[in-house]
Structure 1
């Protein structure tokens, strides 16, 4: 489309409209570093002939998706932290074994086998840590999430119990 062609000759699919509006809102937000109030969102939705109920349901879905993304980011940070700890353990143990081997015979011999085995183990561990797709990842995430929710529930119950006893 050239600049002088009338815009009324074209029609757009719903997906195209969403992308165009998303880009326009992002561009406006970048220019002004602006945040929108709920009333402004309601006004925009009204202009686009979107019902308040549909907007409310979309906001609920958005909050749910945002919460899940935040939970997944926390899980990934937890996994990376555990990996860094194991990496440090591997480095300390292998460093000690290499030093012991070198001091014992002024050469490296048997410690290289341990280094090779630990490197293989570390490589597999890194693969599992940084793999964020697939069934294993989902099962690990669900297990972590349930454990996290149980801890949160127990903390809430204990806090309520302590508050009841303080009265």
Structure 2
């Protein structure tokens, strides 16, 4: 009985190659904190026949994406911190009103309605705070980002102005 060596030609899309290489690099690294130097990045790109210009453009794109990801994390942390403050305020006001209602005699009556409205308001606030997809989130992020860019610009300008006056 003869066996025929049949070679199956495998073809991969660019996306498939990207995912395979990503997995291979991740497995090759002994631990997740292993870092590669820029020279190693150039060497890998050279072996894959990626031009330096293409690599530099990809690195620039990555830096922009990474920067935006960090800004989104900061924005989400800002929103969550603001939410925690509002929940604290709701809690203080409601505890005060519940205590006032209890001390006024007759048990809890009118303060329960206020508590119910507050719980509803906190629920809506939580929904808006932790909803990180959609047009409303993007608009809020863009407003926050512009505000921080303007603040950073003015802080830099004032710092330079003050530094110039010190000399």
TM-score, normalized by the shorter chain, greater than 0.5: yes
Distance 1:6 1:132, change over 3 A: farther
Q: Which residue of 2 aligns with 1:38?
A: 38
Q: Which residue of 1 aligns with 2:139?
A: 139
Alpha-carbon deviation of 1:29? Answer: 2.0
When the two chains are superposed, the root-mean-square deviation of aligned CA atoms in Å is 1.7
Q: Which residue of 2 aligns with 1:27?
A: 27
Q: Which residue of 1 aligns with 2:17?
A: 17
TM-score under structure 1 length normalisation: 0.92
Distance 1:130 1:6, change over 3 A: farther
Distance 2:20 2:102 in 1: 66
Unaligned runs of 5+ in 2: none
Q: Which residue of 1 aligns with 2:126?
A: 126
Q: Which residue of 2 aligns with 1:58?
A: 58
TM-score under structure 2 length normalisation: 0.92
Alpha-carbon deviation of 1:147? Answer: 0.6
Distance 2:144 2:73 in 1: 12
Aligned to 1:105, the other structure's residue is in SS state coil
* Runs of 4+ deviating beyond 6 Å: 5-8
Distance 1:125 1:89, change over 3 A: same
Q: Which residue of 2 aligns with 1:108?
A: 108
Q: Which residue of 1 aligns with 2:85?
A: 85
Equivalenced residue count is 163
Distance 2:7 2:51 in 1: 26
Distance 1:119 1:33 in 2: 43
Alpha-carbon deviation of 1:7? Answer: 8.4
Distance 1:33 1:146, change over 3 A: closer
Distance 1:153 1:6, change over 3 A: farther
